[in-house]
Structures are given as structure tokens and as C-alpha cells.
Amino acid sequence: MTTRGDRHRSRYGKYRGGPDPLAPPVDIGEALDAIGEEVMAGYSPERAMREFLRRGGNDQQGLEDLARRVFAKRQELLKRHNLDGTMNEVRELLDRAVLEERKQLARDVDLDDDERTLSEMQLENLPASTAAAVSELSQYQWKSRQAREDYEKIKDLLGREILDQRFAGMKQAMEGATAQDRAAINEMLGDLNELLEKRNRGEDTPEDFDEFMAKHGDFFPESPRDLDELLDTLAQRSAAAQRMLNSMTPEQRAELMQLSAQAFGSPELAAQLDRLDQNLQAARPGLDWGGSAEFSGEEGLGLGDGTGALQDLAELDELAEQLQQSYAGARMDDVDFDALARQLGDDAAVSARQLAELEKALRNNGYLKRGSDGQYRLSPKAMRQLGKSLLRDVAERISGRQGARDVQRSGAAGEFSGATRPWEFGDTAPWDVTRSVLNAVVRSSGEGGPTMPLRLTIDDVEVVDTEARTQAAVALLVDTSFSMALDGRWVPMKKTALALHQLVRSRFRGDALELIGFGRYAEVMQVEQLTALDAMWAKGTNLHHGLLLANRHFRKHPNAQPVLLIVTDGEPTAHLGSDGEAWFSYPPHPLTLANTVQELENARRLGAQTTIFRLGDDPGLARFVDSLARKVDGAVVAPELDDLGVAVVDSYLGSRDARRGSGGGTRGGAGETPDARRSGGWWGERGFWVE
């Protein structure tokens, strides 16, 4: 009897409806950070993504880890097993049958002496070959019932093993098979061969398959939906059986072929199976019918298990190719997740699915875009995400001290501060309507209760408090000469530009930032262009040309505070001539130095606050940069590479701090952190934040 409680009892089991709905989402941020790093180092986004998928994340197995596990599983199969299992089992049954027969001959006193002698001679002179001995005893008149049963077990074992080679699980299913069962097998094989031969001639119909399954469906528990699906299953197993034969020694192979005739005591079975193999190979010639493997272990495999092991090896080889993703048009969707779960367990399949979801997210969610040349590039969305990450890293590095330029005055149009204040004559700030109405209600309540309609007085009005910041025209000049790439400064330079770009675009939108790369020539660059810029191997550090472009930028924004930030690792070795061509000389020519200094003086006259970030320990560069800073009342910072982004963002944030003071000279030296170099007053009171 079912109780009410029984009807409402919940049952729980493993979720099988697809990907785990409770699995954590893929970490796009970590992937973008890694991909961006590779792109800035000169890799294409496609290759960078492939590299991340290969390597994996902090808590994420990559394709390389999965491929390593696949290889280990393959080696374990080969080193643990050998292919002598069935032969050893047959030899053991044969030895036991012969021993029991000899015992029976010795104790049977009623047996005719001549018959006993003849039987003993037959047993004594059996061939050394197991297959030949089994074949010779096929006509022997057994005196021992136990010996006869053991010999019959040999034929039964061979029949089940040979069937198991083509139909997985048949060894167990046919244990204790009757003559009727064996007849049903022969009938099924005959009908199957006729169906396959019709397919190979192009004469089969869906009705032929339906009729075959209606009659013999019990032999195929996997329930194939059509003949092609049945063909795929049988051909893969048959090809594995052929590879197993190829893996045997010639002696093993010859013995097995000889033993096959004894299977179930029916030579017709071996003939039908040979016919089946030929039909399957004709239907699926593209499978690996000629391969082999070298098993070297001590654990013997039967024919069916050995064929299964060869199938596993083939599946592992396919997985290895899929995980390598080295072929044209490779995608993570190509990986057979079910096969991966079979071979390595569910955890491996989960890891691979997460990588596939990550690849889809990167391609389909707008992080990668295909250019007109067909190549993938980081999209603006990806650049923003990468910039946020870099800026967040910069913020965390500034010793926990966060800040922004000072709030200079309140009450003028600008960004909302979150506060309100009473309206004053001349205010143009927007009203805070909610606060103003509340003031009127409170006032009228004190005068005997609110009246309708509610009347506002000038004393009730409050306006939104705003903070005004002086706009800046910022020029970030980054050295793109070959020495930057040669000495490992290429990626830190790009990270710095991207972090500063993100800060200006997200927090200080009123500022005008221009990125200028200077090598043999200088060029104004978009952040996407600079991020993807390949290393430039042309000689020349044309700071003069870069300063010309920076001053042009400052003149375009006459009402903004000019801020000049220069990142370089070498003295100027080129300048722009009157003909517009770059003039190169190393060591630096006095004319190049004079032109560079002159243009830096022009920047000072425009009011630019200059900071030069000197990379490297070249004494000549240090002397030159220090002299430049003194001439233009600028500053020099000599950061470590890891602190370059911190130093540049730090300088930008403090560039218009009223408490900075004047005077040039050098702040700090190589190896010092920005905080160690700075004095109080560089940070504003309100703090800067990362969106």
C-alpha cells in the first residue's frame, strides 16, 4: 500500500540534463588578462586565445593537462596488458583436460589395453602448438567426462571471444549458450551480411533495416536508429579487432586463425565473421584497418577485451588530436566530451566543457572581432575590460592609498558630489527638487500645517553640489624603438598606455588624452593600434617628432592644462628635418639634441607639466634626462618595469595638484617605488575609483 508520504517522497540522483547548472561561470576576466598580455607581446588574438586554452587558468585545467592525462592513460594500457589472454586460457583448459584424461586412463581397469595404449600415445604426442593440439583432439574419444567438458569449454570460449571481438558484451551474453542460441547467432550474421551487401551495392532501403532490427534487435542493446549508425558501431569494433590481429606476433596470429575454426565447433561461424569483416571494411574504408600497437605488460587480455583496449587506444588517439587543436579551423566543440568522460572521468569532461564555454563567450559575446582581412582582433569591449583589469592592478599597487586631483571649488557645473547646499544668487547648478520640496513641507508645518497648493520660497531651494576639475590635455609619449622590445619593455609600455587610457575614459572623461608612439618616426595611435603594435626593429628614437605631435595636441586644447608624460629607454637619435624626413645619427648628433630640447621648451611655454619616465640604468641617458627636466622645470621618475604603470598613473593624478609645488630635478632613482619617491600632497581628498 502506498502512503501519502511515499507519494511525495523526493528522489535524488546525478544530473544528466546537460552541463551542470550549478557549475561556476567561466572566468572571462582571467582569460582576457592572459590574452591581452600575449597580444601586447605580439601574438594574434586567435593565437593568444589558443595559448590560454592550452595552458588553462589558475583553477582551470587546460588542454595541455588533459592531453597529458590522455597520453598517460594510453601508456598505462600498453604497459599493463598483453594479448595472450585467450591463448593462455585455452592452454590452461587444454592442460587440465589432458591431465584429467590421463588420470582416467590410469584408473579405468576395464579399458582394453590396446585402446589405453593408443589413447596414451595420442596424448603423449600432441603438437607443442596449442592450436594444433586443440585441432588434433577434435576427433579424440574422451574417456573422462571432466576432460570432455573442459575441452568443450575451449570451443565455447573461442566462440564467445570471437563474437565479442565484433559485438561488445557478447562474451558474457553467450555464456552457457545452447545449440539454439548458436543457431540464432548464425542466422543473425547471415541476415546482417546480406543487409550490408545490399548497402554496398546501393540497394538497401530503410524498411530492410527496420525488418532486420525487428528480427534481431535483441543482439544490439545500443538500439541504433538507422543502418549508418549500426555500421559505425560495428565497423569501429571490427577495425579494432583487425588492429589487434596486426599487433600480435606472426606465431600468435597463426595460432588464433587456426583456433577460430574450433569456435563453437562450427567452422561456419568463422566464415560468417570473415564475411562480416570484409563487408564492414568495404562500407567504412576510411577507418584504421592497418594499425597496430605494442603491448608489453603482464596482464593478458582476451580477444574481446583486447579489441576493447584497441578501441580505447583509438579513442585516446582521437582525443589527443582533438585536444591538440592544431588543425585548421579547430574548435573546442570538436572535442568528444562523452569520450573524454569515458576515458578520464567526469572531471576531465567538465574541464573541457568549461574551456569550450570560454571559447564561445570570447567569440560570441563581442570580445573578439574579425577584421576586413579575416583575422581576429580584440574588440573595444575587450579593450575596456582589459583596461579595467590593468587599472585595478595599478590601484592595488599604490600601497592602499587612493586619490585623485583635488576638488578645486564647489558650486560650478561639473560632476555631482552627492551633497546639496542652499541656493545662492548667481547659482546655475540644477535644483535638488526632492530636497527643496521637503524644505517647504517642513517650513509650512512649523507655520501651522502645510497648505495646498504648496508654496516654495527662495529659502526652501537647494541645489545639487558639484565638483569641478580643471580639464587637462594629456600627451603620453611612448618609446617604440627596437631597444624597448629587445630589453623586455614592450609589454609594460603597452600596459601603461592602456591603464592610463582606461582611467581617463572612465573617470576623467573631460580630459583629452593622446597616445603617441615614437621610433624612427612618431605617430598618433589609437589604444587598439598601440596594443596590437608589433615590435619595430628600425633604428631611431625620434623624440623630437613625438614632441611636435604633443604640442600640436596641446594647441588644439588651449583652455586645458597640458600634461606631458614621456616613457623612454634611450637618448634621442633622430629628429625630423625640414623636408619631413627623419635624420638618424648614433651617437646622438648635437643637432638632434638641440631640436629635441627646443621642442620641449615649446611645450613648457604652452604650460605643459612634464614628467619623464626613464627606463634602464644607462648613465648617459640618466644625465641627459636630468638635464632636460631641469631646463623645463619637469620631473624624472626611474621606475622598475613592474611599477611603470603605477608611476605614470600616479604622475597623471598628481599633475595638477595645487600642493605639488614647482621646481625640477629628479624624484627617486631606479628600484624605488612611487610611494617612496613622493612627498605628501600628491593625492587628492576624494579618491579615484576603478569602474
Task: Determine the pLDDT at residue 487.
Answer: 79
Q: What angle separates helix 267-283 from helix 179-201, to the nearest 10 degrees?
A: 30
* CA gap 370, 368 in Å, rounded: 7
Query: Where do you find CATH 3.40.50.410 in the chain?
Result: 472-677
Task: Determine the pLDDT at residue 680.
Answer: 31
* CA gap 683, 659 in Å, rounded: 9
Three cell numbers written together for 399: 600601497
Residue 522: what are its φ and ψ, rounded to 5°? Answer: -105, 155
- pLDDT of residue 319 exceeding 50, the answer is yes
Task: Determine the pLDDT at residue 416.
Answer: 60
Average pLDDT over residues 620-633: 88
Three cell numbers written together for 70: 590522455
Average pLDDT over residues 38-60: 80
**Residue 505's pLDDT band (boundaries 50, 70, 90)?**
confident
Contacts of 645 (CB under 8 A, 6+ apart): 390, 393, 394, 397, 492, 495, 496, 499, 500
pLDDT in tens, 444-462: 876 666 677 888 888 888 8
Comparing 53 with 453, the larger pLDDT belongs to 53
179-188, 262-271, 665-674: which is most confident: 179-188
- pLDDT of residue 232 exceeding 80, the answer is yes
- The torsion defined by the Cα of 251, 254, 255 and 259, in degrees rounded to 10, comes to 170
Q: Which of 355-369, 393-407, 453-467, 545-559 has the lowest mean pLDDT?
A: 393-407
152-156, 325-329, 493-497, 572-576: which is most confident: 572-576
Enter the pTM of the model.
Answer: 0.64
Is the link from the previous residue into 450 a cis peptide, with omega within 30 of 0? Answer: no
* CA gap 482, 564 in Å, rounded: 23
**Residue 646's pLDDT band (boundaries 50, 70, 90)?**
confident
Task: Determine the pLDDT at residue 99.
Answer: 94
Nearest to 547 by CA among 614, 601, 626: 601
* CA gap 388, 394 in Å, rounded: 10
Q: Which helix (H) or strand (E) holds 270?
A: helix 267-283
Task: Determine the pLDDT at residue 45.
Answer: 77
Nearest to 673 by CA among 649, 654, 646: 646
- pLDDT of residue 366 exceeding 80, the answer is no
pLDDT in tens, 190-202: 999 999 999 999 9
Task: Determine the pLDDT at residue 64.
Answer: 92
Task: Determine the pLDDT at residue 688.
Answer: 39
Residue found by looking up cell 568528444 in the block:
336
pLDDT in tens, 71-110: 999 999 999 999 888 989 999 999 999 999 999 998 888 8
Please give the mean pLDDT across all residues of the chain: 82
* CA gap 341, 350 in Å, rounded: 8
Task: Determine the pLDDT at residue 52.
Answer: 87
Task: Determine the pLDDT at residue 216.
Answer: 92
Query: Alpha helices of 20-62 — where are they, by DSSP H?
Result: 28-40, 45-55
* CA gap 61, 88 in Å, rounded: 42
Three cell numbers written together for 678: 613622493
**Residue 651's pLDDT band (boundaries 50, 70, 90)?**
confident
- CATH, domain range 472-677: 3.40.50.410
Residue 152's CB: how many other CB atoms inside 10 A? 15
7-16, 113-122, 335-344, 490-499: which is most confident: 335-344
**Residue 673's pLDDT band (boundaries 50, 70, 90)?**
very low
Nearest to 236 by CA among 249, 224, 254: 224
pLDDT in tens, 577-625: 989 899 999 889 999 999 999 999 999 999 999 999 998 888 888 888 8
- pLDDT of residue 628 exceeding 80, the answer is yes
Task: Determine the pLDDT at residue 665.
Answer: 39
Q: Which of 434-443, 488-497, 668-677 has the lowest mean pLDDT?
A: 668-677
Residue found by looking up cell 512649523 in the block:
446
- pLDDT of residue 412 exceeding 50, the answer is no
**Residue 44's pLDDT band (boundaries 50, 70, 90)?**
confident
Average pLDDT over residues 366-383: 73
Nearest to 254 by CA among 399, 87, 106: 87
Comparing 538 with 291, the larger pLDDT belongs to 291
Q: Which of 257-271, 517-531, 541-555, 561-575 has the lowest mean pLDDT?
A: 257-271
Residue 372 half-sphere exposure toward CB, CA atoms < 13 A: 0
pLDDT in tens, 350-362: 899 988 888 888 8
Three cell numbers written together for 406: 583635488
**Residue 494's pLDDT band (boundaries 50, 70, 90)?**
confident
Taking a C-beta distance cutoff of 8 angstroms, is the pair 470, 455 a contact? no
Nearest to 531 by CA among 499, 505, 563: 499
Three cell numbers written together for 558: 588651449
Task: Determine the pLDDT at residue 668.
Answer: 38
Task: Determine the pLDDT at residue 76.
Answer: 93
% of the chain beyond a pLDDT of 70: 84
Query: Which amino acid makes up residue 431?
Result: W
* CA gap 236, 314 in Å, rounded: 9
Instruction: Give CA 445 to chain center in angstroms.
Output: 67
Q: Which helix (H) or strand (E) holds 574?
A: strand 574-576
Three cell numbers written together for 199: 548497402
Query: Alpha helices of 447-575 — where are they, by DSSP H?
Result: 482-486, 490-506, 527-531, 543-556
Tallying the residues shown for the chain, one arrives at: 691
Task: Determine the pLDDT at residue 468.
Answer: 53
Average pLDDT over residues 207-217: 94
Task: Determine the pLDDT at residue 98.
Answer: 94
% of the chain beyond a pLDDT of 90: 35
* CA gap 197, 190 in Å, rounded: 11
Mapped onto helix, strand or coil, the DSSP state of residue 422 is strand
- pLDDT of residue 16 exceeding 90, the answer is no
Average pLDDT over residues 526-532: 84
Three cell numbers written together for 116: 589405453
Average pLDDT over residues 36-42: 73
Residue found by looking up cell 585536444 in the block:
323
| 488-525 burial code (b ≥16 CB/10 A, e <16) | ebbbbbbbbbbbbbbbbbbbbeebbbbbbbbbbbbbbb
Q: Which of 255-264, 556-565, 663-672 has the lowest mean pLDDT?
A: 663-672
| 202-241 burial code (b ≥16 CB/10 A, e <16) | eebeeebbeebbeebeebbeeebeebeebbeebbbbbbbb
β-bridge mates for residue 377, sequence order: 369
What does the radius of gyration of the chain's CA atoms come to, in whole angstroms? Answer: 42
Task: Determine the pLDDT at residue 235.
Answer: 93
